[in-house]
Chain A
Amino acid sequence: MSAATQNPTSGQNAARIALELKDVSKSFGLVRANRDINLKIEKGTIHGIIGENGAGKSTLMNILYGLHRADAGQMYVNEAEVSIRSSADAISQGIGMVHQHFMLVNMFSVLENVMLGSEGGSLLKDGKKATLKTLQHLADNYGMTVDPYALISDLNVGMRQRVEIIKALKGGADILILDEPTGVLTPQETKQLFEILNVLREDGVTILLITHKLAEIMEITDNVSIMRAGQMVGHRHTADTNPQELAELMVGRKVLLSVDKGAAKPGEVLLKVNNLEIYHERGHKELDDVSFEVRGGEIFGIAGVSGNGQTPLMEILAGMRVPSAGSFEVLGATVSKGTPKGPKEMRNMGVGHIPEDRHVHGLILDFEARENMILGFQDADVAGADFLFDSASITQHCQEQMDHYDVRPANPFLHAHSFSGGNQQKIVIAREMYEKPRVLIVGQPTRGVDVGAIEFIHKQLIALRDAGCAIVLVSVELEEVMGLADRIMVMNDGQKVGIVDAKDADTNTLGLMMAGLTSGEAA
């Protein structure tokens, strides 16, 4: 609670408050997406909201913009209490929003898109004229030049985003919410965006910038609020803080889970990654020149704020995506763009994969536990020797695994969605460990898992390491990486920042590296 009170200095210079939230809460079913959020945003500033994926930032913004309704709490715009029930309410209060995913009609021109919702009568002539004038005005004053007659589908991502900003501003917004605006931008486009935001700020527009990128917060914001697990955990003047402090606040200091493990006995190199690169379908680089080696008998941790290239890296290593450039050697085979290997081949070679999102990849929620226990191994003998499945064997196999991994309830016929998060994860882990993989790719092994199961899962991973498996562990829980891994690679913006020995690592250095500063710069 104390961390959630606003920095007292903000009230002193009597700056007017553009937006204020008091004790706002929002739940989706049992998930408390926002809890007692307090937030004050000064007029004419750029205010950053930072937090990991799933921290509740987008929910909060959707409440501000009237897309969700808060369960409790008050909202004030320009120091007057308001009730925002729809995006139309938000717009009439001068709040504009640029969504992470663009809301544009691709086959319309810029002019038509900007005009949408304010066509000004059944004939388009007047509306067009007025919109053209607005476009000209924004171009003159803010440098937001854009060809009114260009089709959206012909524009690059940066320009599309500019159109979104224009759409928000033409309604007279003086509070602008930007949800992860740079996620899909190139560095140049990001620079241009920031120039525009600076001009807008000078003109008195209040800007809310939602991001999980620390560098952007440091570069452009005046104040920053940090969210974690649905709560506000701190407010800072950007000038008074540093990336490392922000990273710690975001990731959170948890009680260090003591992981009981002996020293690693690294064997031969089982996985060698050479200059891997991959592009997002939108065109930006998701993974940039990443190289490392992992030996049998060690856990190679990958730390970083989520969304910095860990997911594509894991998917490439598991055979689910093909790299644009670079290669990796695993258990004697080389995989590259020219010689791709699918998930089945990787699995047959002895590469296990515990995916980071068990609901999307790891399990089929509508399948029975026993069917999930053979997912990916549906061709293995345990499922039956020929074309037909051996139902009895599948059930028995599942029963054995459930007993061994203490899955509760140990009922092979229950559908996967009926298990708790921890037990679902145990099903995935049981499955992936059964064939004794020699290389294991693990993503967020304990996300949404209760404490007891966390300890169990950690023990299993250590046991597998000691059996000589090379484990690549990706986790956004810094403590988990530090506790489990023998060496830690930190990633930022798709790149490798550096690799440190776990015994030399501390949250300070890792925090700085997660913000993109190499250990040399950090010293």
Chain B
Amino acid sequence: MSATPPLPRWADLVLLPLINLAAALFVCGVIVWFIGENPFDALAVMFKGAFYLFPDSLGYTLYYTTNFIFTGLAVGIAFHAMMFNIGGEGQAYVAGLGAAAAGLVVAPYVPAIVAIPISVATAALFGAAWAFIPGYLQAKRDSHIVITTIMFNFLATALMVWLLAGPMIQPGQQSPQSSLIAASAFLPTMKDMLALVGIEIAASPLNLAFIIALLAMLVYYILVWKTRLGYEIRAVGKSQEAAKYAGINVPRVIIITLAISGAFAGLLATNEILGVNHRAVLNFTAGYGFTGIAVALMGRNHPIGIFLAALLFGALIQGGSELDFEFKTITREMVLLIQGMIILFSGALAYMFNPPLARFLARVLPGKGGNDD
């Protein structure tokens, strides 16, 4: 009967994600307490481990964060068009092929100033192409995007295994990986870049891709809220009927949105392939594509929110491994459980606390005359 009162915007954007996070940490704390450790000690170790326990702690955290930013943006942009892109994993994987191909074929003949942009662009392009097909199938053939993007994850895996164990395998090697790409396509590490301006930091995998991720956030923001295309994407997402009335070509917008989403996911390959591995390897996507869904949900599809959520998940990986070292009883599986809890509470159950919180706030806050329609 009584409908849920609307949640104030600030509560939806800030309070609700924090409550979700607190709930997840509480459940984890109880579990940690059950296995005989002090939950507060564990939390402290995780925090220190993620940010300042060792000189390279923060570098590692931000390196993981980079991946989550890319996949979070990918899921987020598709959400704006009400499309559920679950294929970030596959799109990033195929983008790795693009990055490696550019690094192997083009980069040997050009300097870094040319090789890096081309390799980055190729990665984005391959990711976009891999998302374009499900986008096309959704827009023109009504094939559900959730199903097709999942399928395309499997296709990407099969394709990459075949390529890396077959045509692309490094000559004379048994392990399924490509040859090293040309050094001109290596993304410079943060340590090297900061050294140029005289700042000394510890070595870590953190590289130029982090800067690319920050730029991607800016592009995302401008695209969604400041451009015609972004307007059309949001119109399609909010009301396809009204979009049609407005003369917006709905199938076209869906296809373009998915391609952009794939491009964001594809940029993950710049961090992993161009920045760290320097060759195409198996399974470098490591689930980042899927966690991107939780990142986007938690970040409310806004770049700032996505950044904060990505930072959280990055810190969880880095701080989690520290937890594994410090406590005998807390194993790697335990760390996975904590990550799972956070995904559960801020992803799957993201709106669980919405109704009670809304009712509570409606009672506590002075009546501001709800919507009058």
**A and B form one complex:** yes
Q: Which residues of B contact A418 (CB under 8 A)?
A: 371-373
Q: Interface size of A by Cβ–Cβ distance < 8 Å? A: 38
Distance between Cα atoms of A343 and B242 in the complex (Å):
11
For window 402-431 of A, CB contacts with B under 8 Å fall at 417-421, 424
Specify which of B228, B230, B241, B249 is in contact with A361 (CB 8 Å cutoff): B241
A371 contacts B231, C-beta separation under 8 Å: yes
Specify which of B238, B242, B373 is in contact with A421 (CB 8 Å cutoff): B373
A388 contacts B227, C-beta separation under 8 Å: yes
Which stretch of A234-242, A293-301, A378-386, A455-463 is in the interface?
Answer: A378-386
**Does B226 touch A at the CB level, under 8 Å?**
yes
A389 contacts B372, C-beta separation under 8 Å: no
Q: Which of B222, B239, B373 has the most CB of A within 10 A?
A: B373
B3 contacts A366, C-beta separation under 8 Å: no
Per-residue CB contact flags for chain A residues 486-521 toward chain B (1 = under 8 Å, else 0) read 000000000000000000000000000000000000
Distance between Cα atoms of A392 and B370 in the complex (Å):
28
A389 contacts B226, C-beta separation under 8 Å: yes
Per-residue CB contact flags for chain A residues 347-369 toward chain B (1 = under 8 Å, else 0) read 10000010100001111111100
B247 contacts A367, C-beta separation under 8 Å: no
Tell me the interface secondary structure of chain B in the complex.
Answer: helix
**Does B302 touch A at the CB level, under 8 Å?**
no
A361 contacts B247, C-beta separation under 8 Å: no
**Does A376 touch B at the CB level, under 8 Å?**
yes
Task: With CB as the reference atom, state the residue of chain B lying closest to A376.
Answer: B246
* With known contacts A378-B228, A384-B228, A360–B238 Cβ distance under 8 A: no
Task: With CB as the reference atom, state the residue of chain A lying closest to B371.
Answer: A418
A388 contacts B226, C-beta separation under 8 Å: yes
B242 contacts A388, C-beta separation under 8 Å: no
**Does B359 touch A at the CB level, under 8 Å?**
no
Task: With CB as the reference atom, state the residue of chain A lying closest to B3.
Answer: A29
**Does A149 touch B at the CB level, under 8 Å?**
no
For window 275-309 of A, CB contacts with B under 8 Å fall at none
Specify which of A353, A371, A384 is in contact with B245 (CB 8 Å cutoff): A353
Q: Which residues of A contact B245 (CB under 8 A)?
A: 318, 320, 343, 353, 355, 361-362, 375-376
B372 contacts A362, C-beta separation under 8 Å: no
A364 contacts B239, C-beta separation under 8 Å: yes
**Does A391 touch B at the CB level, under 8 Å?**
yes
**Does B232 touch A at the CB level, under 8 Å?**
yes
Specify which of A346, A347, A388 is in contact with B222 (CB 8 Å cutoff): A388
A420 contacts B247, C-beta separation under 8 Å: no
Nearest chain A CB to B251's CB is how many angstroms away? Answer: 12
A367 contacts B234, C-beta separation under 8 Å: yes
B226 contacts A391, C-beta separation under 8 Å: yes
* With known contacts A320-B245, A387-B227, A389-B227, A367–B232 Cβ distance under 8 A: no
Q: Which residues of B contact A355 (CB under 8 A)?
A: 245
Distance between Cα atoms of A338 and B347 in the complex (Å):
48
Nearest chain A CB to B139's CB is how many angstroms away? Answer: 16
Task: With CB as the reference atom, state the residue of chain A lying closest to B225.
Answer: A389
Q: Which residues of A contact B372 (CB under 8 A)?
A: 418-420
Q: Which of B222, B235, B242, B244 has the most CB of A within 10 A?
A: B242
For window 224-275 of B, CB contacts with A under 8 Å fall at 226-232, 234-235, 238-239, 241-249
Distance between Cα atoms of A346 and B247 in the complex (Å):
9
Specify which of A345, A347, A383 is in contact with B228 (CB 8 Å cutoff): A383
B231 contacts A389, C-beta separation under 8 Å: yes
* With known contacts A389-B231, A419-B373, A343–B239 Cβ distance under 8 A: no
Task: With CB as the reference atom, state the residue of chain A lying closest to B245.
Answer: A361
Per-residue CB contact flags for chain B residues 200-233 toward chain A (1 = under 8 Å, else 0) read 0000000000000000000000100011111110
Distance between Cα atoms of A42 and B117 in the complex (Å):
81
For window 320-336 of A, CB contacts with B under 8 Å fall at 320
B235 contacts A364, C-beta separation under 8 Å: yes
Distance between Cα atoms of A118 and B40 in the complex (Å):
58
**Does A344 touch B at the CB level, under 8 Å?**
yes
**Does A342 touch B at the CB level, under 8 Å?**
yes
B371 contacts A417, C-beta separation under 8 Å: yes
Q: Which of A344, A364, A418 has the most CB of B within 10 A?
A: A364
Task: With CB as the reference atom, state the residue of chain B lying closest to A363.
Answer: B242
Task: With CB as the reference atom, state the residue of chain A lying closest to B228.
Answer: A378
Task: With CB as the reference atom, state the residue of chain A lying closest to B244.
Answer: A320
Nearest chain A CB to B324's CB is how many angstroms away? Answer: 44
B228 contacts A343, C-beta separation under 8 Å: no
Distance between Cα atoms of A365 and B234 in the complex (Å):
12
Distance between Cα atoms of A346 and B244 in the complex (Å):
13
Q: Which residues of A contact B249 (CB under 8 A)?
A: 342
Q: Which of B222, B243, B245, B248 has the most CB of A within 10 A?
A: B245
Per-residue CB contact flags for chain A residues 177-219 toward chain B (1 = under 8 Å, else 0) read 0000000000000000000000000000000000000000000
Nearest chain A CB to B239's CB is how many angstroms away? Answer: 5
Nearest chain A CB to B253's CB is how many angstroms away? Answer: 11
Distance between Cα atoms of A421 and B234 in the complex (Å):
23
Distance between Cα atoms of A367 and B230 in the complex (Å):
13
Nearest chain A CB to B257's CB is how many angstroms away? Answer: 16
Q: Which residues of A contact B242 (CB under 8 A)?
A: 360-364, 375
A378 contacts B373, C-beta separation under 8 Å: no
Task: With CB as the reference atom, state the residue of chain B lying closest to A71.
Answer: B1
Q: Which residues of A contact B227 (CB under 8 A)?
A: 387-389
Distance between Cα atoms of A391 and B230 in the complex (Å):
13
Binding site for B on A (CB under 8 A): 29, 318-320, 342-347, 353, 355, 360-367, 371, 374-376, 378-379, 383-384, 387-389, 391, 417-421, 424
**What 7 A-B pairs have minimum CB-CB distances, sorted nearest first?**
A344-B247, A343-B247, A376-B246, A361-B245, A364-B238, A375-B246, A366-B238
What are 27 A-B interface contacts by the 8 Å CB criterion?
A: A29-B3, A320-B245, A345-B247, A346-B247, A361-B242, A361-B245, A362-B242, A364-B238, A364-B239, A364-B242, A364-B243, A365-B239, A366-B239, A367-B238, A371-B231, A374-B231, A375-B246, A378-B235, A378-B248, A383-B228, A383-B231, A387-B227, A387-B228, A418-B372, A420-B373, A421-B373, A424-B373
Binding site for A on B (CB under 8 A): 3, 222, 226-232, 234-235, 238-239, 241-249, 371-373
- Starting from the known contacts A375-B245, A383-B231, A389-B231, 6 additional A-B residue pairs (CB-CB under 8 Å) come to A344-B247, A367-B235, A371-B231, A388-B226, A389-B227, A417-B373
